[in-house]
Every structure is written in structure tokens, then in C-alpha cells.
Amino acid sequence: MRILFSAVPVAGHVLPLTPMAAAAAADGHEVVILTSGDLKGLLAPFEVLAAGPSMEVNAAETVKRLGRRWAGVGPEAAEMFAGTRVDLTFDEACMRADEFGPGLIVCDALDYVGPAVAARLKVPWAVHGIAGGMPPQFAQALDERWASQLAQRGLTGTRRLAYVDPYPDLLHGDGAPLAQDRVPVRITPYDRADAVYESPVFDRPGLRVLITLGTTFQDRDMEREFVRSVAKAGFNVLVTGSADDETAQAPNVRHVGFVPLARILPEADLVVSAGGTGTVLSTLASGSPMVIRPVAADHPINAARAEKLGAARVITDPADAGAAAQEVLGNPAFRQAAQAVREHNQALPSPAEVLRTLVALSEAR
């Protein structure tokens, strides 16, 4: 089967789809990823069907339309995902997808190009979650803007096959509303076959703390404060950001650049982050506890859920990261909570198993 994966052109949206894309390729399916062409390097060796502009262009066009900037989730963000991006990408995406001829489309939860293409080409489609649920008002704004896009193009939306959910039940919490077509999937930290990572050598043995702000959110000042605080607390520090002239001089700090989490997490005793979904889920899948300083988007939601589980300590000041790391690593309960999520995750269906379910559902429709 030819399977098209469609995603918003941001690493945090497209990378969570790659384990399933890799599973599809391993099963002998022909796989492509429909997104902006500027992500080709990140997504290698997958073939990218380039359609639409970068996310920076989409955001700038949305600001132009609205006449103002915004922060966080809300109607403005709904306009960007379900409005602007569909307007700037749909026609080219339809042309590329029609040439490819997919039998199944799998899109990220905020990608509205994929479902629109599915409606135009009459192809079965499914959603792959990238977060743990959206605020009701945001979801409503997305649905309303999406409905207007379909009406504008004379399309009738088709029912999705399933909602593939990488968020474990333990993170959703008791009583959380779950999609009726939900299919749980095992968290698989991002990796790529051509990645090269050599574990750095430190001057002295000690616990290792990984500091990462992920692939989307960048704040060098906050990262620098994290590094200062954690290094001062006496830990050996791994930093995925680019080298910083000041902190790189510390004897217990090593800047390793961009490294797939699957390669570096096994040697991290604790992870300090802003709380991006990919980082939080991957860290829990590895069984490591966290210190989180949430900043934007879904960071506060992820942080609150991880803390409620007992697997994370949430802080408001980056300068407190070192003290929080000492607290977490000094209390075995944090690691035990993270290990419980790891064990729960390992019992879930793999991306390959879920992919086969989606293929069966698409063939039956």
C-alpha cells in the first residue's frame, strides 16, 4: 500500500509520526511524508512530498490576516492551523498527493491539510496524536474553522479511521475525555539510522542530567540558566543546544548538539526541559524523572500531568533547576513513578502493530 503521512511543518509535529512511518516502510509499504520542503534534511531518509510554505511563513501570514500577534492556544492559533495553512498548502498538497496515489493518509492532530486532501481524493485517513488533548475552546475553534474550509471548497469531510494516541492512560488521568475511536500506541523516542552520537567523557564520575529545549522552542537565556544552575549543583551536564561560550567552559558541561532522544536518553539520570510533548513522553518511556519549567503551548499541561504522576518537579524559575534536580534525584519516588509509566508504555501496542490495524481498517472501508 502507498501510505502518506501529513504533518504541520514543525519538528514537534512531524517527528512523532516517524516511528509509524518507519514501521510502514519495514512492512513493505511505500511511504512519503507531506510537509514543507524545508524539513527534508530533518526527515531523511524518508521521501518528502514538499507542499506549502514553512511554519514561519504561515505564522507571518496569520499575523497579517489578524492584524496582531498572539501567544498560546486559542482562536488565533486555530486560524493558523485550520485556516492559513490550509489556504496556503491545499492546492499544492492535492497535486502532490494525487500523483502519489495514497491508499491511506495518517496526519498529525493539528494538520488539517491531510484530512482535506483525504476528502478531495476520497482516501481513508487517521489522526496521530502529538499532545495530550486540547482545551475545549481551542478544539471548538479548530472544528468551526475546519468546517468553513470544507464548505468553501465544496468538500464533505469523511469520518476518520482512528485516533492513534501516544499519551498513556496514566498521563490522561482518571475521568479524562477520550476519543471513542482511540487506539493507544507505544511511545517510541525519535531516532534515525544515520545518527552518530558518542557519549562524552567527563573529568569525574557522577549523575548525568540532560538539558534539552526540544526542536521547536528556543530560549538561549533559559537554557544558559538551566546549565549554570545544574552544573553548580554538582551534576555532569549534557546539553543538546549548540555550544555556549560561557557554559561550555565549565568542566562538568558537555554540549552535544542535535541528538535523537533515543540515543541520549539511556545515559541520562534526569532530564530538564520546557515540557514539550516529545521530550516528556520520550523521557517517561525511558523511565527517567524530570524537572520542567513550562513556557508555552502545551508545556503547562504536560508538566502538570507529569508532576501529578510523581515523575516530575515543576519549577517557575530556571535558576531553581539545580536544586530541583537534587530533590528529584535524592528521592527514589520520582524514578519509581517514571518507571511505572515506562512499564505501562512497554505493554502498549507498537507503532508497527497499530499501523497494521490502520491498514486493515482502510482496506475494509
All structural domains of the chain: 2-186+348-364 (3.40.50.2000), 208-346 (3.40.50.2000)
3-state class of 47 per DSSP? Answer: strand
For residue range 59-72, what is the model confidence (pLDDT) as tens digits? 999 999 999 887 77
pLDDT value for 248: 54
Rounded to 5°, the CA angle 277-280-284 comes to 135
Pick 318 or 256 by higher pLDDT. Answer: 318
For residue range 46-56, what is the model confidence (pLDDT) as tens digits? 999 999 999 99
Number of residues in the chain: 365
Burial of 224 (0-12, 13-18, 19+ CB in 10 A): middle
For residue range 133-186, what is the model confidence (pLDDT) as tens digits? 677 788 899 999 999 999 999 999 888 999 999 988 877 766 667 888 999 999
Confidence of residue 245 (pLDDT cuts 50, 70, 90): low
Mean pLDDT of 66-84: 88
Confidence of residue 246 (pLDDT cuts 50, 70, 90): low
Locate cell 549543583: which residue? Answer: 233
DSSP codes, 71-117: -SSSHHHHIIIIIIHHHHHHHHHHHHHHHH--SEEEEETT--HHHHH
**Cell numbers placing 248:** 561550555
Query: Cα separations (Å) of 224 from 176, 239, 331?
Result: 36, 10, 26
